Amino acid sequence: LANELIRQVKVRYPGVQVQLHENHSDQLRKEVAEGCYDFAVVNLPVNESVLEVRPIEQDDMVLAVPNRLLEKVRVQPGQTISLADCREVPFVAMGKSQELRRMLDRLCAKADFNPIIAVEVNGIATAWEMVGAGLGASLVPMQFIKGKYAASDVTLFPVRDSLSTRQPAVVTRR
């Protein structure tokens, strides 16, 4: 997503210098509002009284499960999954301050269980590597996986819950 956005900016505005800063969405929202950056790509919601919002393509989450852990999942590959079907599955989770971790925690709370956290990581790419190594399942954005990441030893399950969607947007200071 970010690389495509940067490519489009460079094509449309060849004289513009692009500096990519990765950080938690909370921090990026704050820094755009303070004028540190011209824009940021973050997930909604945002304080629209401070930031101008331009939603981009909605992103659905999938649960990436190592094939060696499929027997712990209560549904068959090809079906949608609820986190309630994953009570016995160890998870590769983002740090507690990250949005994907908060989403995982909300989905598990809604399913009335505390997830087994096998590994805690800081980035989606690292989480994907840990899933590929068979250490646990992880919620990952479908846009992260599309056309870039595929693994024969990982099964993807669409998550059947409205909490499992995130809405990225480009935000600028008002």
Local confidence band at 43 (pLDDT 50, 70, 90 cut-offs): confident
Indicate the range of 10-14, 27-31, 108-112, 164-168 predicted with least confidence.
Answer: 164-168
Quick one: average pLDDT of 134-149? Answer: 84
pLDDT at 79 exceeding the cut of 80: yes
Q: Has residue 1 got a pLDDT over 60?
A: no
Percent of the chain with pLDDT over 70: 93
Q: What percent of the chain has pLDDT over 90?
A: 43
- Whether the pLDDT of residue 158 is over 80: the answer is yes
pLDDT at 138: 96
The rounded distance, in Å, linking the Cα atoms of 60 and 41 is: 16
In whole angstroms, what separates CA 72 from the centre of its chain?
Answer: 23
- Asked if 64 and 154 touch (Cβ cutoff 8 Å), the reply is yes
What is the Cα gyration radius of the chain?
17
The residue type of 121 is: V
Q: For all residues of the chain together, what is the average pLDDT?
A: 87
- Report d(CA 54, CA 41) in Å as an integer: 9
Q: What is the pLDDT of residue 30?
A: 87
Here the tokens at position 129 are 């590597």
pLDDT (0 to 100) of residue 57: 81
20 or 117, which is more confident: 117
Q: How many CB atoms lie within 10 A of CB 109?
A: 13
pLDDT of residue 164: 67
Cβ atoms 101, 26 nearer than 8 A: no
- Read off the DSSP letter of residue 164: G
